[in-house]
Chains A and B, each alone.
Chain A
């Protein structure tokens, strides 16, 4: 239930009692009274910005002895907290000039003295209803904002999940495809060479058959972390290409640099000394790597991207043919 608190600013005790007795008949939770401008400002805590409005409706008697009611109305309405709170002015003044000034000062409505009960109740009631609707709307908006923030966070998470390999935490194939294309374009723009390493765990099927799939997954994770460690520049990129195959993109890297990174990865994997008793290559898990380098001169097409991957794959194939646990480099074009 929306609660309504009313502030009556009036310095006439008889009027105060009269208004209180009427207001008590309406759907009002609390009625507060202030008598002077200073007391009103202090009660509303106008100096403190961004506090929550503690009053939902202000009934302001225009002729106070120390400060003009219109000035008070203006001041209340210029505060961030109370600019939306309806102010109803009460006055014995009849002049339309006065009315004009009151509305210009931001008054929501106007009640003439002597107060007529029916008129007073009807006008206050409509202000209360409006304020209640406003409060409900504000609450709904706040809820919507919260929900939309949650949604954004979830979307971000989903986006990440969609581009990440769940097991190793490396980028997945989809992100690899996009990144390779982007990096080729960048390399072309900057007239840099771009290197690609394709890597494949040697005798991984046998490893899985020997140690089981859970161990196999552990092995994949370890290999992935070696890749991530070696592709450490901000522009370096490593991905799980599929199964036991991985890929590393090295921006602004030539043949020598790429082969060196590939060689480091190969050595690091071997040095992990992950036992592989049924391997015909070594007693530990090893990695074969194919490297290629490109200096892009022509338009980046899907065909070009594919043939670049193909070239690194050929190098990888040759590494396997030559006995595994080694790095082979092939020039692109």
Chain B
């Protein structure tokens, strides 16, 4: 059973699959970047996620993006890895309900 219910404007329905695919790609890149300890690129991914998440209706993604950005600035590898896990978990258990605004 999926537990992360998200209500999204139905105008965005056609955009959501691509958006979520892009987040899977974020996770793959973040895992590679954390191995390389490339914190600047990690920060940029966090910053972008912070900017886009809420816009698409995923407020939690904005929250996680913000955390990634902050921890990348501090080069906090362990915390970043924890956040990446949270991100994966969230996306895996997503239930989207489209509604009129």
Contacts and interface: CB of A to CB of B under 8 A. Distances in A.
A177 interface: no
Nearest to B9: A117
Contacts of A92: 47, 50-51
A67 interface: no
B51 A25 contact: no
A35 to B, nearest CB: 13
Q: Is the interface of B mostly helix, strand, loop or mixed?
A: helix
A63 B51 CA distance: 10
A114 interface: yes
A21 interface: yes
Contacts of B53: 114
Contacts of A6: none
A18 B50 contact: no
A14 B52 contact: yes
A113 B55 CA distance: 7
B11 A21 contact: yes
B56 A18 contact: yes
Interface in B1-36: 9, 11-12, 14-15, 18-19, 22
Nearest to A115: B55
A150 B59 CA distance: 61
A14 B56 contact: yes
Interface in B72-101: 101
B71 interface: no
A115 B56 CA distance: 8
A65 interface: yes
Contacts of B22: 13-14
B68 to A, nearest CB: 13
A18 B47 contact: no
A117 B51 contact: no
A17 interface: yes
Contact of A114 (B12, B15, B19, B59): B59
B96 to A, nearest CB: 16
A299 B91 CA distance: 104
Contacts of A12: 48, 51-52
Contacts of B12: 18, 21
Contacts of A144: none
B50 A14 contact: no
A15 interface: yes
Contacts of A65: 44
A113 B15 contact: no
A113 B51 contact: yes
Q: Top 6 A-B pairs ranked by shortest CB distance?
A: A114-B54, A115-B55, A14-B52, A113-B51, A114-B55, A92-B51
18 contacts: A12-B51, A12-B52, A14-B55, A14-B56, A15-B55, A18-B15, A18-B56, A92-B47, A113-B50, A113-B51, A113-B52, A114-B50, A114-B53, A114-B54, A114-B55, A114-B59, A116-B55, A118-B101
Given A13-B22, A21-B11, A25-B11, 15 more contacts: A12-B51, A14-B52, A14-B56, A15-B48, A17-B15, A17-B18, A18-B12, A21-B14, A63-B51, A92-B50, A114-B50, A114-B55, A116-B54, A116-B55, A117-B101
